[in-house]
A and B are shown apart, each in its own frame.
Chain A
């Protein structure tokens, strides 16, 4: 391949007179390969191939000037509060917390049959609609723009649950990301990360002691 042969007369007949030498130019590529291999090794070791994934997140403003009036009050029937506890535990309650009854807080898990199952059921309408849209997109009935537009409409639609994520100090960052992940998987458009209140801490403690603290419940 890397050989250039200059060959007169096809090499069939050899005339006695002027004999021309076969000149073979053979380029040795071995050093070239060596160098390339070195470079490849260097690039493989010193670079990262995949760009990191990211989650975009909007936090509520901390501004004290915003009064209660300006905030969108969440209907108790739509609200789901996830409380991320220590040791990879996750609790949830719907609507207003009931401090008297320790069973109002439910223990769940990060697994597929845990919190995801519950959220998918609560958000079934939106999930079904989005699944239909995905099918349509696969069949090329709608364009990508239409798809994203309609998905955001469904997610922001009336009656979809609003999820409030509250993490205890002992929860890890992974727990938070997992919870945010569930929002994406369950197509929940409205969710917020909020600070945990003493009330929620009490609920967890009350749950762990199976209602042992119910008599000193805050009002």
Chain B
């Protein structure tokens, strides 16, 4: 009886090529992408044909959700702390170093200044939960939003204001924000939109 010889095949797969590809992909993602900022509310921006890209630095972005809650964020942490300081002194609230440190770490803020201290005392995960229920007051009696913008402008004159609002936001809310900005003589700003394919629309 002759033994049936089974040819031994090596099951080793050469992973070098695969590794090459993944490294390339990784490099691509690292270079082209920007990190998503944590936002307290989900916002779907309306589509537009505008192709201007938003600059990366010196942005004071104003986030408006469908119910009209207003949040703000800045891209420089040092500016955030300075703004908090001057807004606090405007309303007679002083913040400790620790509170400032905590404030610096939050990506987006939107808390009435009176509740700010209590908010900053919370743990980060609790902060995220309650933030969505707040929002900077914009009504004409207590327009804290105006003060925030004014102080931020005083600290960094190079700021560009970008408004990011949900597409279903009633115009009434946008009008309030826009007229607050107009009162501050902030007449140039950007509206953030997402890209809409116009050629598909024409057909």
Contact = CB atoms under 8 A, between A and B. Distances in A.
Interface of A: 1-2, 26-30, 32-33, 36-37, 39-40, 43-44, 46-63, 84, 112, 167-178, 180-181, 184-185, 193, 195
Contact of A53 (B16, B171, B192, B202): B192
Given A175-B171, A184-B49, A55 B23 contact: no
A63 B182 CA distance: 8
Contacts of A27: 16
Contact of B174 (A2, A37, A173): A173
B168 to A, nearest CB: 5
The B contact surface, by secondary structure, is mixed
Interface in B80-111: none
Contacts of A61: 182, 185, 187
Nearest to B53: A51
B193 A62 contact: no
A50 B194 CA distance: 9
Interface of B: 12, 14-19, 22-23, 25-26, 29-30, 32-36, 45-54, 56, 64, 162, 164-172, 174-175, 178-179, 181-183, 185, 187-196, 198, 201-202
A214 to B, nearest CB: 27
A49 B48 contact: no
Contacts of B198: 185
Nearest to A42: B29
A61 B178 CA distance: 11
Contacts of B56: 51
